[in-house]
Amino acid sequence: MKHLKRASLILAMVAMGACSQNGLGGMGGGGPNGSGAADAQGDASNPASPAYFQQSIGDRIFFAVDQSTVDASAQAALNAQADWLIANPDYKVIIEGHADERGTRDYNLALGARRAGSVREYLTLRGVSADRIQTVSYGKERPSEVCSAESCYAMNRRGVTVLSNLSF
């Protein structure tokens, strides 16, 4: 009975965390939705602007199948993100972890959480303060591509860095 209560409590906590709002109005991306999320508006030629971050630095990295390890190509992108975040300390970030549609919902939520955690860990090792980084997993719930081909699956196995001016 004691183990059943503990398992139920853990399951409830995981379910609540997976369904919680991230302060972006349920949108998941930095758009002008009145939530305080930094949007891509502004002058992309200004190195301190969110538009510059999204267009010149890049806001996402990709993962191999069933992996949450940051590979060499992802490290280059995250190095640029970390440098930008250090130079622009007024911004906080929400790291979104995503998975492709294969696998169960629970498995993909856990995989997305590991992916977001790997990005968070890498950025903190590069000098970004951990209190400026929040993570959220969407698992397979928010695909960027919808089809049944490896090229689509590959685009959905991602970590996305969303700029925010919200308080955590």
Mean pLDDT in residue range 140-166:
93
pLDDT in tens, 65-118: 999 999 999 999 999 999 999 999 999 999 999 999 999 999 999 999 999 999
In a domain, 24, yes or no: no
Number of domains in the chain: 1
pLDDT in tens, 19-55: 433 333 333 343 333 333 444 456 888 999 999 999 9
**Nearest CA among 168, 132, 163 for reference residue 50:** 163
158-164 β-sheet, strand order:
60-62, 158-164, 92-98, 133-139
Q: What is the CATH number of the domain that holds 89?
A: 3.30.1330.60
Q: What is the pLDDT of residue 36?
A: 38
In a domain, 22, yes or no: no
Q: What is the pLDDT of residue 41?
A: 57
Question: What gap in Å lies between CA 12 and CA 16, rounded to an integer?
Answer: 6
| More confident site: 105 or 6 | 105
Range of 52's domain? 37-164
Helices (H) and strands (E) in the chain, counts: 5, 4
Q: What is the pLDDT of residue 43?
A: 82
